[in-house]
Amino acid sequence: MLAAVTAPLLAVDVRSLEARNSDFSTASSADIPLAPPAQADDQQAAAPTPQSLEDLVAERVANTTGDQQGDCLATSVYFEAKGEPLNGQLAVAQTIMNRAASGRFPASVCGVVRQPGQFSFLHKGSMPTPPRASTAWKRAVAIAMIARDGLWKQVAPDALFFHARRVSPGWGKIKVASLGNHIFFR
């Protein structure tokens, strides 16, 4: 908003300067109007960029994502990958998001998660309730928000499938990553 308001003002200031000084090269520094500190304000308004996934998770620890789809994603992360390293948890969340966006699976996160035969933690299609006071749940919520909002690079690029290392489904799919106890495919 600030940039939109200041841009026309800068143009007016430059035109008035041109009218007063026909040659900018001869203008003294006292004649040149100072640009408003929009860039400095933008830098102050922007949150600092986290240096690691751990930092980003720490900034977003919460009890809920704030919406049903996000909470479905967090529940999936919790039950599928709570004991995994953060990048493994994020890969699970991103894979679910990739499925919802692919056109090959249900278009919502909850639809992807509830699709029959896809997630072993479901009990007859219903989601169990995670312990919402636990640290693992709060971390899963943070991971879900990071994946949903696209705040971190794809950990398993374009993955649409994953399975635990302990199983060997014999898929003819392209392996894109192996993180923690999961292997990711597209």
d(CA 101, CA 18): 53
**pLDDT at residue 46, as a whole number:** 57
87 pLDDT more than 70? yes
Whether 5 has a pLDDT exceeding 60, the answer reads no
What pLDDT score was predicted for residue 74?
98
Query: What pLDDT sits at residue 51?
Result: 84
Whole-model pTM: value is 0.73
Where is pLDDT greater, at 35 or 106?
106
CA torsion through residues 84, 89, 90, 95, sign: positive
For residue range 128-156, what is the model confidence (pLDDT) as tens digits? Answer: 999 999 999 999 999 999 999 999 999 99
What is the residue whose two structure tokens read 């072993």? Answer: 120
Tell me what pLDDT residue 110 has.
96
Q: What is the pLDDT of residue 170?
A: 84
Q: How far apart are CA 182 and CA 88, in angstroms?
A: 7
If one compares 86 and 50, the residue with the highest pLDDT of the two is 86
CB neighbour class for 75 (10 Å; exposed up to 12, middle 13-18, buried from 19) = buried
pLDDT band at 102 (very low <50, low <70, confident <90, very high): very high
Tell which wins on pLDDT, 161 or 45: 161
Q: What is the pLDDT of residues 22-70, one digit of tens each?
A: 343 333 333 333 333 344 444 445 555 668 999 999 999 999 999 999 9
pLDDT of residue 125: 79
Q: How confident is the model at residue 48, as a pLDDT?
A: 58
Look at strands 182-185 and 161-164 and give their pairing.
antiparallel
- Of residues 10 and 172, more confidently modeled: 172
pLDDT at 28: 34
Average pLDDT, the chain: 80
Give the pLDDT confidence score for residue 56 in this predicted structure: 96
